[in-house]
Amino acid sequence: MPHRGGLLPLLLVALAAAPLAVAWRPWPPRDASGALAGLGASKKFEGSSDFVKLEYHMGPVLAADITVHPIWYGAWPAEQKRTIRAFLRSLSPQSSGEKEGAVPSPSVADWWRTVRLYTDQTTANVSAVVALGQEKCDARMSRGASLTRMDGMVSVIAHELAEMASNPLANAWYAGGDPSFPTEIADLCEGIYGTGGGGAYTGQLLTDGRSGAAYNLNGVGGRRFLVQWVWDPYRSYCSGPNALDHQ
Ligand SMILES: *[C@@H]1O[C@H](CO)[C@@H](O)[C@H](O)[C@H]1NC(C)=O
């Protein structure tokens, strides 16, 4: 998803993306009926490499410590804010003062490891450190009320964060010939959350015993999240720490 403008307005950026959802290029390509185009239905998918040519365009990645400053745009229920803060703190729990090993696998930090595989010309990797910075509220919605919240908020934030880290200036990691409509590392894996995912199928998920909710990542404070996978540059397919074939 194109999302320029630096790190500061992450949450705003993530939210601002919601009304633009129609402009997202769904992957894999679908025909007019919504069926997968050019793929046999039985094929193991998870973002088949046949279609994807992710390329490095010589620009920087976010190799320095990342600080996320949420801007709470509109009225946010306290519990939703807590969930998002917990997700952000789960990316590198030690940077947030959590004890090592406190979060079981597959964890949000494990998920971030795939993003950290991306390097720039100086061979610097995407930063391991992602910290929660100062927050701002924009409850009066200074940019208009048409921005809406959407389901899967944490996954949307994760998607944008992964792409900001690996393609911050739209000149690093993306597929497709047009840098103003780049297909970035999370765009390639939209809708894929587990092994076998693709088309309308999310892939294999875990189930929270208490609530019955599906999840795929553990976070700080015993929280569980459902976060889409990102493109793995070595495996050349979408990958996440809950994958069944490379635990
Ligand atoms: C940094 O990126 C390289 C190249 O993708 C990878 O081999 C290495 O494991 C990465 N290091 C970390 C700490 O993720």
Ligand 1 atom closest to residue 234's alpha carbon, by position in its atom list: 5
- Asked if pLDDT for residue 162 goes beyond 90, the answer is yes
- Distance (angstroms) between ligand 1 centre and the Cα of 188 equals 20
Question: Which atom of ligand 1 is found nearest the CA of 113?
Answer: 14
Q: What is the pLDDT of residues 190-199, one digit of tens each?
A: 999 999 999 8
Q: Which phi and psi (to 5°) does residue 142 adopt?
A: -60, -15
**Whole-number Å distance between alpha carbons of 65 and 138:** 26
Residue 24: predicted pLDDT = 30
Measured from the Cα of 116, ligand 1's closest atom is: 14
Structure-token match 């998803």, residue found? 1
Q: Is 56 in the pocket of ligand 1 (CB under 6 A)?
A: no
pLDDT digits (tens, 9 = 90+) for 37-48: 333 333 345 665
Whether ligand 1 lies within 6 angstroms of the CB of 171 is answered as no
The pLDDT, as a whole number, for residue 47 is 63
Q: Domain extents for the chain?
A: 8-31+43-236
> What value does the mean pLDDT take over residues 79-105?
92
Confidence of residue 110 (pLDDT cuts 50, 70, 90): very high
Ligand 1 contact, 119 CB (< 6 A): yes
Ligand 1 near 117 CB (within 6 A): yes
Cα–Cα dist 243/98, whole Å: 25
Average pLDDT across the chain, whole number: 80
Distance 118 CA to ligand 1 centre (A): 7
Q: How far is the CA of 109 from the centre of ligand 1 (A)?
A: 15
* CA angle 134–116–203, rounded 5-degree value: 100
Element (H, E) at 109: helix 108-115
- Which token pair is 240? 């996440």
CA distances from 94 to 19, 80, 84, 120, 217 (A): 35, 23, 17, 25, 17
